[in-house]
Amino acid sequence: MSVPSKRNYFMYPKDKWKQFYQGESVPITAKSLQQIKAFNDRISLQDVQDIYIPLIHLLRMRLDNFKTWHDTRAMFLQRPAQRTPFIIGISGSVAVGKSTTARLLEVLLSHFFEGYKIQMITTDGFLYPNKVLKKKHLMALKGFPQTYDMPALIKFLNAVKTCKREVKSPVYSHQVYDVIPHRFDIVDRPDVLIVEGINVLQLPSNQQIYVSDFTDFSIYIDADAKLIEQWYLTRLKKLMKTAFQDPLNYYYRYAHQNPEAVVKMAKRVWDKNDLPNLKENILPTRSRADFIIHKTHNHRIDKVYIRKY
């Protein structure tokens, strides 16, 4: 796949990027990192030190500038200064490690930004429930832009950005493969909100306001599609031996089927659904990100890109 444009991004190999800031040490242990990382993802404490510690410092500078600008604008308009949330968007393909990055940033920001309220949500909760997708004949396209309740997501982000109290975010369960009725995460005037999802940077053609209009810093997790496919299928094989063994799991019916047949089925799903969604709807949004984390074999981060302007 193509690489980000040199006209729009500075590219830094890992060894160069880590030199920009090492003023803090990693505040987590290897054991706690295991609990943070997504299933089948790989990340080391050295990755956290080399990639995420400089990123945290960059975010601190961005947040300081954000607060200064909002205070200055309030003074100019002769209005009371408002505690406007700083929203970080994290996007990328399925199986590329978005949730690991989101959870890791939540932990690191909570540690280093003392006194700040940090919260995180995933846009999966704004998928239409399965019964709606079936009615609309969209189950096979789950994850495509048309399968999300975008007006509800925009309404949620607008409420958060305007400092509404106790804003509800629907909860999605990967175990039951559906939105859980009447269950919500409550977002209550955070200083920083991390929003993770494949559609964070997308521009649906039928809307005048987009998710990215609410984000103040955006991150795209990038890797070659062939590698993502390998991670996707490897994760499936491991899930067949673990989570799929639960009778309550949506995929329980596959747990005791022929593994090779299940992998072939998953390969068809990747080819017909996930790969087209990546090419048509996710990858084109990469050029809108402020920061790109590029992964290579074994989920190893080899370089980062940062937008020039």
Residue ranges for the known binding site are 92-99
The C-alpha atoms of residue 39 and residue 133 are separated, in whole angstroms, by 26
Residues annotated within the binding site for ATP are 92-99
CB neighbour list of residue 69: distance below 8 Å, 6 or more residues apart: none
The residue type at 166:
E
Q: What separation, in Å, do the N-terminal and C-terminal C-alpha atoms of the chain show?
A: 24
- Rounded CA-CA distance 71/67 in Å is 6
Task: Decide: helix, strand or coil at residue 193.
Answer: strand
Residue 59 CA to residue 47 CA, distance in Å, equals 17
| Torsion angle of the four alpha carbons 236, 169, 129, 92, in this order, in degrees rounded to the nearest 10 | -40
DSSP-derived secondary structure letter, 188: -
